[in-house]
Structure 1
Amino acid sequence: MSSSAQDAIPQLDLGNTFGALFIGVVLSAVLFGLTNIQAFIYLQTHRSAGITFFKLFVIWLWIFDALHLALITHSVYYYLVTNYANFGVLTEIVWSLKLQLAIGIFIIPMVHLLYVHRIWKVSKGRSRVLPTVALVIVVVLSSGVAIPLIWAQYKVKLFKDLIEMQWSIFLSLGAATFVDILIASSLWYLLATSRTGFSSTDSFITKLVNYTISTGCLTSICSTSIIITCAVMPTNFIFIGLQFLVTNLYVNSFIALLNARHYMQANTIVDSHELNGRHVVYRPELPISASQDEELQPSQKDSQDGVLHITRPIQASMPQSPTSGMEMKSCSLV
């Protein structure tokens, strides 16, 4: 046994160290289960659309999320099962623990760029080139800031040396948190300025605003918690256990945003009136997939109550009804 291991053994608290890693793996597995549900819902609700850009990215994110879970599971199994009671090994950082960090740092900017693409679509028809390019630059710079963290952890061999690389942890997570806040604020502003004055549609947009803010805050809170725990308790592994979760949260939050239409559209009615003796109900549809002059097509017919349900993109002009001739504004989000 090395002298460094002997020095670390008397101070080793399994509950706050490898116990924290074990809890992190369990919670990460739970979040991965939610990722499976989110991905299944998205693929099922878009199964008739064929192979699309976002379908491929959902599958891509799912693969990386599964790989991340496999790596952190291997690392905990390596410490607590394969090398049970081998205290000399417990002081060393296993390869899978290093690789999972690289996977997480790869996923975060990828999700950020997908959010920027959402902002591009939300701001359709506006002056959107400069803000979008600025966001892309910020995302690229924030991902570049994370490269020193990967390199620093690659060179570290023992857990006690992690204290020396705190600066890189603070820098990378702080940059990711800043991008989260910037993206959430941009989406909030674009959605808030898309209000139409029509109460039902404004209520729908308000739900989207709240949903966007909540998903952005979730990842920001987790990143901030990692920074705080690393600064306050650098000698235990609670911050590493929290770091296991941040990757799952990014994947879950983005796929959940893609599924926002499925969650909220079912209970949102934009307009309704009688047409040829039948009660017609119009609902908003996201994303924008039709042109302004496209003919309305029934998306569902309810044979039990005789109600004709028509799904229509929010930016399209609503047909004239006895009570409304209003044109809806664009607010494509997913």
Structure 2
Amino acid sequence: MPHRVEFTPQQLNDLTRGGIEKHIGLYLGPIVLGFAFDSMLLGCIIQQLIWNVIWTPSDRLFNKIILYSVVLLSVATTIFNDCFFFHAFASGFGNWYRLIQLDYIRWHPILDCVTVTLVHIFYLERGYQLHGRSKWVPIIVLPFLLADIGGAIGGTVMLFKIPDTYDLITIKPFFYTWIGGTLVVDLLITSIIFHKLIKSRTGWSDTDLMINKLITISVETQLPSLVVAIAFMVSYGLKANAGLNVFFELFHPKVHVVGLLTVLNSRNKLRNQLNGTSNVKENNYIGKEDKDRSSKFKPKSKSKSKSGDQDIENDINYNPTQLTIIFEDELIVPHLGTRIESSSGSSSDDITTDPRKSQDETDTPSVDGGSDVKDQGDFSAGVQRV
């Protein structure tokens, strides 16, 4: 390991102590809080993992590989951080120079990058599937993802060439490439998913409400990681060797893992809301023309010059068919345009549908699947891939 040959260990210790004691809260406070945040987020990850195992025992193999990999990496990172804490504040108690040495810090970019990249691959696959396997999705994201990985590797290599945080400013190009790439990938993937969900709105009240919930989940799970990455970049730009940088670095990857688990576990709540029983379950269509009407059920105008075909056309405008939604795990959502009476004391005869039928309803999908597979895939992908 590189070391400063022009100073004795005692001189280095005295110099470090003098510098830290002038701003002890700026240097030691954030480091201690970083260890605390890291441990708390690990507890959240383990709790969410337990819920995920209980709620989705038959999840896709791809999801399980990504999930268990990032959880194991999170546990390993916390153990690594605890060793750093013991090295600096227990076995190294009284040795001030250990607080600015890079024996442990130089490995953080690699551990961070591996964990965050796996989370990005998960979201990238979701965006890819959501857009019907369009090749432009990975083409846009992959260059920034590779830049993120390259910056982390280059930063780690450079950290092995400097002895302590006094020279940390020398890795600025690699640091900004690493964290900047992470930030851009987060923004791109969130925008890709957000744009597709916005375009998936159909005009049906229940369906659009569910899409709005998916958009909310997507934004809420990505926002914390974006904020932490921006704060990390700003703190490094202001003072590269301050303890505030260590604060963000200690728990930065776990913010992404918590967001991933939140997305996976939210599917259970969405399924319950879609399939929950109530006294009346009705999905209302609100088209562009309906927004201009003062009353939703405005009587249809009939004239002597109009034939029976005009009435059928009006029925189609007022009662468009609601698509069946099929999830990847073979869960089928019933027709949301169906009126369902209270479950208590009801039988199969209690379920009735709208008596008005259009000529085109014979071509629409039923609960067993249908002709419009593309539209079904778009929305089902949105539920699975927020």
Distance 1:241 1:307, change over 3 A: farther
Q: Paired residue for 1:104?
A: 112
1:25 to 14, 35, 39: 35
More strand, by proportion: 1
How far apart in 2 are the matches of 1:307 and 1:260? 31
Q: Is the 8 A contact 1:43 1:55 kept in 2?
A: no
Q: Assess, with a 3 A threshold, how the Cα gap between structure 1 residues 2 and 144 changes in structure 2: closer, same or farther.
A: same
CA separation of 1:285/1:35 partners in 2, compared to 1, >3 Å: closer, same or farther?
farther
Give the letter for the 2:124 counterpart: V
- Unaligned 5+ residue runs, structure 2? 1-8, 283-321, 335-341, 366-374
Query: 2-side partners of 1:63 and 1:306: how far apart?
Result: 49
Q: Distance in 1 between matches of 2:170 and 2:344?
A: 68
In the TM superposition, residue 6 of structure 1 has moved relative to its aligned partner by 3.1
Alignment of 1:291-310 (within 5 A): 305=344
Q: Are 1:56 and 2:96 an aligned pair?
A: no
- Match for residue 70 of structure 1 among 70, 74, 79: 79
1:183 CA drift (Å): 0.5
Is the contact between residue 110 and residue 152 of structure 2 (CA under 8 Å) also seen in structure 1?
A: no
Once residues 222 and 195 of structure 1 are traced to their aligned partners in structure 2, the CA distance between those partners, rounded to angstroms, is 31
Equivalent position of 2:217 in the other structure = 211
Aligned residue in 2 for 1:7:
15
Q: Provide the C-alpha distance between the structure 2 equivalents of 1:71 and 1:224, rounded to a whole number of angstroms.
A: 24
2:248 paired residue number: 242
Counterpart position of 1:158: 164
Q: Report the CA distance between 1:50 and its aligned residue.
A: 7.1
Structure-1 separation of matches of 2:259 and 2:150 = 23
Match of 2:353 in 1: 321
Of all paired residues, the percent bearing the same amino acid is 15
What are the Cα deviations for residues 15-51 of structure 1, in whole angstroms up to 9, with x where unaligned? Answer: 322331111010111111111122112121122x277
Give the TM-score, by structure 1 length: 0.80
Q: 1:266 aligns with which of 266, 272, 283?
A: 272
2:148 aligns with one of 136, 142, 167: 142
For 1:101 and 1:10, the matched residues in 2 are separated by: 29
Q: Quote the residue 1:130 is aligned against.
A: 136
Structure 2 vs 1, CA of residues 123 and 105 (structure 1 numbering), >3 Å: closer, same or farther? Answer: same
Q: What is the rounded CA distance, in whole Å, between the counterparts of 1:307 and 1:160 in structure 2? A: 75
Contact 2:42-2:74 at 8 Å conserved across structures: yes
Match among 172, 175, 190 for residue 169 of structure 1: 175
Q: Which runs of 5+ in 1 are unaligned?
A: 274-281, 297-302, 309-318
For 1:101 and 1:146, the matched residues in 2 are separated by 5
Q: Is the 2:127–2:137 Cα contact (8 Å) retained in structure 1?
A: no
Pair 1:94–1:289, CA change in 2 (3 A): same
Q: Quote how far apart the aligned CAs of 1:269 are.
A: 5.6
Aligned equivalents of 2:237, 2:10: Cα separation in 1: 28
Count, aligned residues: 305
1:89 aligns with 2:98: yes
**Higher Rg of the two aligned structures:** 2
Deviation, 1:56, is 2.4
Letter in 1 for 2:268: H
Structure 2 Cα separation of the partners of residues 5 and 91 of structure 1 = 10
- Whether the aligned pair in 2 keeps the contact of 1:116 and 1:136 (CA below 8 Å) is no
Task: Quote the offset at 1:115 in angstroms.
Answer: 0.7
Q: Is the 8 A contact 1:148 1:168 kept in 2?
A: yes
- In 1, the alpha carbon distance for the partners of 2:175 and 2:209 equals 40
Two-structure CA RMSD over aligned residues (Å):
3.2
| TM-score, length basis structure 2 | 0.70
Q: Which amino acid aligns with 2:120?
A: H
